Structure 1
């Protein structure tokens, strides 16, 4: 089976709010050594929404250079303004990114012909592979498979989609409708626990946040899928299902994932963009208990 595990990487900051490039570089090294198949920079968990355009360019250039083509590198270039998306996307591709990823406009529902025009406009002007990012919990609406099929039929640079929906109904329809016509179109689930279901249904794997914390487990699970190792797939599913309780520690999951990565020694600080606060002591203890329960190695104190 075809299966990839891509990490939507955390963006790391010093306590003063400036980028912590030392920790950021170490995180990328941990992910690559852990065996993930790719890294998405400036996804939702990467806090792109709270960064200025200038800071986003700085982070993108650093990340592309640091990852250095060792794994697939995708840069999230979403914005409410197409005239920001296009030059940013093309610059990232020029710097060496393998692709860019773009979530649709948020705040107002942008469906039907308006959404079609939005993506047509971008795909015509971006000179490289583009992934769509469907996240209805954040945009307020979904990208329908029928529209994805239309776009794929018109734009050869439309590479795939990240489908961040808790169930598999919409993702399964994407696989059935789009991949049946365009077999190389990539469909990824956005929740870790859906990775195996996605692959078994004919999709391409997962772009899931838990891989910031346990890249070695996620990579081993993907390898089990590629090897048709049913016991390994089942064991990985059960482990990831239990680790998903990390997300239940708080609905605002970015500080929680950062704290989990800090407890493993991958990053130095759990600082987030304002107004998000770091995980509390109580939340940290809950995360620690989950990691210990699963036998995950922790940083030495």
Structure 2
């Protein structure tokens, strides 16, 4: 059974707020060595929303060079400025990214017709594969399955979607509506604990953030599906269900993921973009308890 686990990589900064490309490279190498199937940079876990465009281009260029086609590399190019999305997307694709991923416009809510026009315009100007990124909790808008099907039929370069929704209702509808007509269209979940349900429903897997911290567990879970190993699938589900507690340590959860990577020796610092809070001593104690509980 086909199954893929991709990592929406965190962005690592030095304490002065500048990019820590040494730690970033270490993170990428660790993900690849531990067996993840792909990497997304400049998704929600990356704090792209607080990074200036020159810094985003620097990160994209570094990721393309460091990953070097060892695994699939998708770059998030979301912005509220359409021309900026087109320019940045084409830059990433020309430099060697495998695909780009784009959120709907946010701040105001948009209906199906406006979303169709939005992605139609972008897809016509972007010279390579595009993944739609559906994240209604953060954008206020959910892209309907019927709209996704229309777009995929209109534009062969719209190749998949990341569906970041806690349940499986919308993702299941995407699989039924879109993949029934376009079997090669890729449908990924955005939460780790939906991975197994996604695969069993006919999807492609997930692009989910716990894999920054425990890529070995996530990669083993995907391999268990590919090997039809029921015991391994159950083991992976149960481990991830317990590790989902990392997300609950603080809100927003990004400082916890960064601190967990620091505690595992991957990152030099868990510094984030302002006003992202820093992890606390109390957070460290809870993180370490969770990791030790899993034998990590």
* Residue in structure 2 matched with residue 20 of structure 1 by the alignment: 20
CA distance in 2, matches of 1:46, 1:111: 27
**What is the SS of the residue equivalent to 2:31?**
helix
* Residue in structure 2 matched with residue 149 of structure 1 by the alignment: 149
Give 5+ residue unaligned stretches, structure 1. Answer: 297-301
CA distance in 1, matches of 2:13, 2:111: 35
* Residue in structure 2 matched with residue 178 of structure 1 by the alignment: 178
Question: How far apart are residue 164 of structure 1 and its match?
Answer: 0.3
Number of residue pairs aligned between Structure 1 and Structure 2: 296
CA distance in 2, matches of 1:289, 1:150: 47
Question: How far apart are residue 97 of structure 1 and its match?
Answer: 0.2
CA distance in 1, matches of 2:202, 2:251: 30
CA distance in 2, matches of 1:182, 1:207: 20
1:90-239 correspondence runs (5 A): 90-239=90-239
TM-score scaled by structure 2? 0.99
CA distance in 2, matches of 1:198, 1:30: 25
* Residue in structure 2 matched with residue 7 of structure 1 by the alignment: 7
Aligned pair 1:247/2:247, yes or no?
Answer: yes
Deviations 1:172-223 (A, max 9, x none): 0000000000000000000000001100000000100000000011000000
* Residue in structure 1 matched with residue 62 of structure 2 by the alignment: 62
Runs of 4+ off more than 4 Å: none
Deviations 1:256-294 (A, max 9, x none): 100111111111100000011221110111111000001
TM-score scaled by structure 1? 0.98
Question: How far apart are residue 147 of structure 1 and its match?
Answer: 0.2
Give 5+ residue unaligned stretches, structure 2. Answer: none
